[in-house]
Amino acid sequence: MSKTIPPTCPEPETGRQYWRSLDQLAEKPEFRQWLEREFPAGASEFDDPVTRRHFVKIMSASFMLAGIGLASTGCRRPLEKLEPFGQQPSDYVYGVPQFFATAMPTRCGAIPLLAKSYEGRPIKIEGNILHPDSNGGTDRWAQASILNLYDPDRAKRFSKGGVVMRSDDAIAFLSEISKKYAANQGQGLAFLIERNSSPSRLRLQKVISQKMPNAKWFSHEAIDMDVHRRAASQAFGASVKPYFKYDAAKVIVSLDCDFIGAEEDAHSNIRKFVDGRRIKNPGDSMNRLYVVEALMTLTGMNADHRLRSPANAVAQVAEALAAEINGQGGSAVPAGVDPKWVSECARDLLANKGQSLVVAGYGQPLAVHVVVNAINSALGNIGKTVVLHETSDLHEGGIADFAKAAASFETIVVLGANPAYNAPVDVDITKALESAKGRILRLGYFEDEIFPYCEWHLPLAHYLESWGDAFSGDGTLVPVQPLIQPLFGGLTEIEVLARIAGEEKTSPYDIVRETFTGISGSNEDAVWRKFLYNGFLENSAAKSVSARSAGSASSAGAKAAALSKDNLEIVFYRDYKIDDGRYSNNGWLQELPDPVTKLVWDNTVLMSRRTAHELGVKNSDVVEVKVGGRTVSGPVWVQPGMADYVLGLALGYGREWNGRIGYQVGFDAYQLRTSDTQGFATGATISTTGKTYPISTTQNHWSMEGRPIIREANLSDYKEHPDFVEHMNGEAPPGGFRPMYPNPFDTNEKTGRPAGHHQWGMSIDLTACVGCSTCILACQSENNVPIVGKDLVARGREMHWLRLDRYYTGDVQKHKWNGLRTDNETFQDTDRQQFEEWIDDPQVVTQPMLCQHCEAAPCENVCPVNATVHDQEGLNLMVYNRCVGTRYCSNNCPYKVRRFNFLDFNKRSIKELKGPFYPPFFAKGAFAKWLKDPQDPKAGMRQDDEWDLIEMIKNPDVSVRMRGVMEKCTFCVQRIQQAEIAQKVKARDTGNILVPDGAESKDPTALKTACQQACPAGAIVFGNIADPESKVSKLKAQQRNYSVLDFLLTKPRTTYLAKLRNPNPQMPDYREPYSLGEYETKDPNPFEEEHHEEGAAAEKGMK
């Protein structure tokens, strides 16, 4: 499984030449020329049979046929054509995946990746563990981005005025532009771009600016993370960009900053945050997180102290905090906030000067960020926890400037941006685009809302199809390397810019190479190859600018608005799933349960219990939200832990021009968002409509009901009683444990050796798990897990093998509603929980729940056909071929981790995902098709254009399950098998067939499960528990280790490390974890001495 490095270009032609058509054989110059024009990216290496690029070209024959013979018809469905290699590439082995280092560009950086490719098809995204600022973890969007590559709804054609054109017509048009504006210095030319960190793009921008100085540049991001840069630049008086080192901070204060969830580089922040919390011994120290926020975010879920506060009051909290830190205590705090909360928080910060960090979120105004910079400066954090990187500012205009000037441009080049959908409403973008209609050239991934205004629409290449470059968060240069030729002949931004610039080299490869040469200062092939192999340029991380002191906090005298049910605040937030709407056509993300709300396929009007009570609304009621004379309507969802009188509206939904998945999912919150209220708006009101709307969620019940499922403690209590988890074990039934199956640890009677060489097990650290849900998508991608659609999720049929259970825990004293305390409230309908008082200020715990691989698995002995069995290495195996689908195993699974294919999910068309759940067996043509050829696996449901792409994303190592079959987590048995086979091959005569522990290995091919690989927190560790030296064994040996539902004696191979919190005893809201209070309503406190002694005595008595 080595990595193939694409050869440098051009390369002398070697080997035998093959012809592909009679024309080629004839080597007619016209053909040659036409080919060159058609494939500028690869023309020079077109006839070199040994390159990887040639290989992928053959495999993606779809592209060829779409491009060559039938270009005039545009998006023909790609025909698959298998051709043997003319010459076997030297290091390619059939069936063995190849890995290529690449990166996914984001707004301000990039995620370093390793993409896995099978027979030329990229099928899985993994993090690049070699990258200096990565642990191999990724985020949700990176994992799901591969689905976008195979999206049947992506832009597939070059079009002019809606008419399909040949790609060379478009390219000719680009050179026309180039010539025209080179002549007139760019007068009348405008560019509308999105943010990214590509140095090549920047270089080309500069070239164009030089050649065409009068050309105007505008940038547009619906959710702009650039505020961090602007604030730092303002505060420090230089063009700098902050880089936050959460791992160096002992105390972190987040002012409405969701750095674990929605901020840029969250996956990297998670790793650094968790690194400061990992406990090996009871004596270890832990960082502490204070959060002030309006919504319940992932960051708030992980806070040690959380202050619910409307977003507009955060500025006042920030100033109060700044005043405390500057020793001018007594600054007014917003109403309802305990001044002690702020002062103690400040004291904790002051006690950790240089080891603390205060951050503000992208939704907060610049002023708050400036105050925060001042605080960090005062605390001496600059250069320690906040590193400043030099950056450049192109002084581009914003979308408002663009709208004003749009009518005056002759040609507008839009690269990616879609302001027709997501521009602020006060910018009359419709009018602006209307006035510019017919003069817009757009390069876009979808033919979306802006499409009707475009004269030219060019398909954008996916990042897995294109050459590019970017800087990762720490400033390291990373390559964006293609794994496949553009499926639909899409172009990249840099190619379009290069053509407009009139550059000689328009191949993105050459452009990137040239930029690289400029940055690395070396044109040597070896350096370049190493760059591509590693996926980053060594020691290229940005140099930190020497720390300067920021100006003192501006005392703007921020005053929180008085909110009430008639003056609500709206917080517009970046959705955890579909971002600003760019992933709205991604089915995996639509069906991913939101990490906080667990809702799928929708956005809602989030509000607190009290707000809903005062407004007289409840879950699913459709309400009209009105602010500034504009309204949208959406369903209500009562979100525990939200600040009162705040409404949370996720952006990115309610799209009218998108693919089939995203079309009209949810409501469009952009309709309420103006230039001034990008983060939040006050003065909103709500009116009921009397309608209701069904909402689908994957977890209906919020409370853990006092059961010791997730066990947690404060760090101080844990230090005193490191064995507390044992005292929370349930009482096992008498009679002891009598396994149904021989324990895989048992020795084999014949050989006297353990029956299996490895014993697989998993350990999940609940202190590390922040609930980001990347693991769910990694598992979905690796294991070909289908999506089922909103209606079926409501019916409890979602297929995720790994789910993230999220429980709210609350003060037991508040477990009542309107004074009507009943001890039976647990038994009531789950709908009632939204009215209960304890959800006002809950703590949140999360737990990844997957097949526990019980040694005494209850599922196994109830299957009548032996379809689920145990193997010698401790895996609970599911034999799909044998399964008839009685579903008894699921009924008997105490963890409810088995998933049943109620319908043929892999064959359902996208249309059915969104419609009524009944698949139309009797639908038009389906039955006739089935009668015609019952063996045709494609008979019936999906349309052909979906099949062609959706088939390509499947991992060939994992069976695609048909309907009527049970499935569940396999511990990625395919990866285990590959590792075992590889080790056996490697071992040869040495007999060393034990697979080395992959948990801490830097080798990308080391054995890790997909969830483990993707986890940015490193919370999931898998390995051989028979080896006492493996990481998983060491984790399981910790005293925090426990198994869920231990009293059932199922002996799970997946165990959990208890969650630890680190609250500050001086804080007014210091408390034991709420879950302990809930637990104590039914069981004795695990920390009470008496109980410990009793337990010890009982143990002695037993002996």
Nearest distance from residue 919's CB to another protein, in Å? 6
In whole angstroms, what is the distance from residue 1062 CA to residue 29 CA? 73
1021, 781 in Cβ contact below 8 A?
no
Of the pair 28, 896, the CB lying nearest another protein is at 896
**How would you label 228-253 residue by residue, b for 16+ Cβ within 10 Å and e otherwise?**
bbbbbbbbbeebbbbbbbbbbbbbbb
In whole angstroms, what is the distance from residue 828 CA to residue 733 CA? 28
In whole angstroms, what is the distance from residue 582 CA to residue 104 CA? 14
In whole angstroms, what is the distance from residue 330 CA to residue 333 CA? 8
Of the pair 34, 902, the CB lying nearest another protein is at 902
Nearest distance from residue 795's CB to another protein, in Å? 5
Strand pairing partners for 570?
647, 681
Of the pair 458, 709, the CB lying nearest another protein is at 709
Nearest distance from residue 802's CB to another protein, in Å? 13
Nearest CA among 980, 746, 1052, 1029 for reference residue 872: 746
List interacting residues with another protein (CB under 8 A).
Answer: 699-701, 703-705, 707, 709, 730-731, 740, 792, 795-798, 803, 805-807, 824, 826-830, 847, 849, 858, 861-866, 882-888, 890-892, 894-896, 898-904, 917-919, 921, 962-966, 1044-1045, 1048, 1082
Nearest distance from residue 1031's CB to another protein, in Å? 27
Nearest distance from residue 761's CB to another protein, in Å? 20
| Cis upstream peptide for 213 (omega within 30°) | no
Read off the amino acid at residue 154. R
Nearest CA among 236, 816, 159, 109 for reference residue 447: 159
Read off the amino acid at residue 571. V
What would the 3-class secondary structure string for 671-717 be? HHCCCCCCCEEEEEEEEEEEEECCCEECCCCCCCCCCCCCCEEEHHH
In whole angstroms, what is the distance from residue 857 CA to residue 1053 CA? 10
548, 238 in Cβ contact below 8 A?
yes
Of the pair 131, 908, the CB lying nearest another protein is at 908
Nearest distance from residue 864's CB to another protein, in Å? 4
Alpha-carbon torsion angle 1045, 1050, 1054, 1060, nearest 10 = 20
CA distances (Å), origin 458, targets 36, 491, 870: 19, 7, 53
Of the pair 699, 872, the CB lying nearest another protein is at 699
Backbone CA torsion sign across 920, 925, 931, 937:
negative
Of the pair 330, 733, the CB lying nearest another protein is at 733
Of the pair 899, 975, the CB lying nearest another protein is at 899
Nearest distance from residue 705's CB to another protein, in Å? 5
Of the pair 7, 964, the CB lying nearest another protein is at 964
Nearest distance from residue 5's CB to another protein, in Å? 45
First to last CA, the chain: 53
Nearest distance from residue 886's CB to another protein, in Å? 5
Nearest distance from residue 925's CB to another protein, in Å? 15
Of the pair 72, 935, the CB lying nearest another protein is at 935
Of the pair 840, 1083, the CB lying nearest another protein is at 1083
Of the pair 432, 867, the CB lying nearest another protein is at 867
Q: Where are the alpha helices (DSSP H) in 354-492?
A: 366-378, 399-405, 419-422, 429-435
Of the pair 796, 1068, the CB lying nearest another protein is at 796
Read off the amino acid at residue 304. D
Q: Where are the alpha helices (DSSP H) in 744-814?
A: 774-782, 790-794
Query: For 286, how many CA atoms within 13 A lie in the half-sphere containing its CB?
Result: 25
Of the pair 508, 919, the CB lying nearest another protein is at 919
Nearest distance from residue 283's CB to another protein, in Å? 33
Those residues whose C-beta lies under 8 Å from the C-beta of residue 453, and which sit 6 or more positions away, are 420, 433, 434, 436, 437, 440
**How would you label 687-709 residue by residue, b for 16+ Cβ within 10 Å and e otherwise?**
eeeeeebebbbbeeebbbebbbb
Of the pair 107, 898, the CB lying nearest another protein is at 898
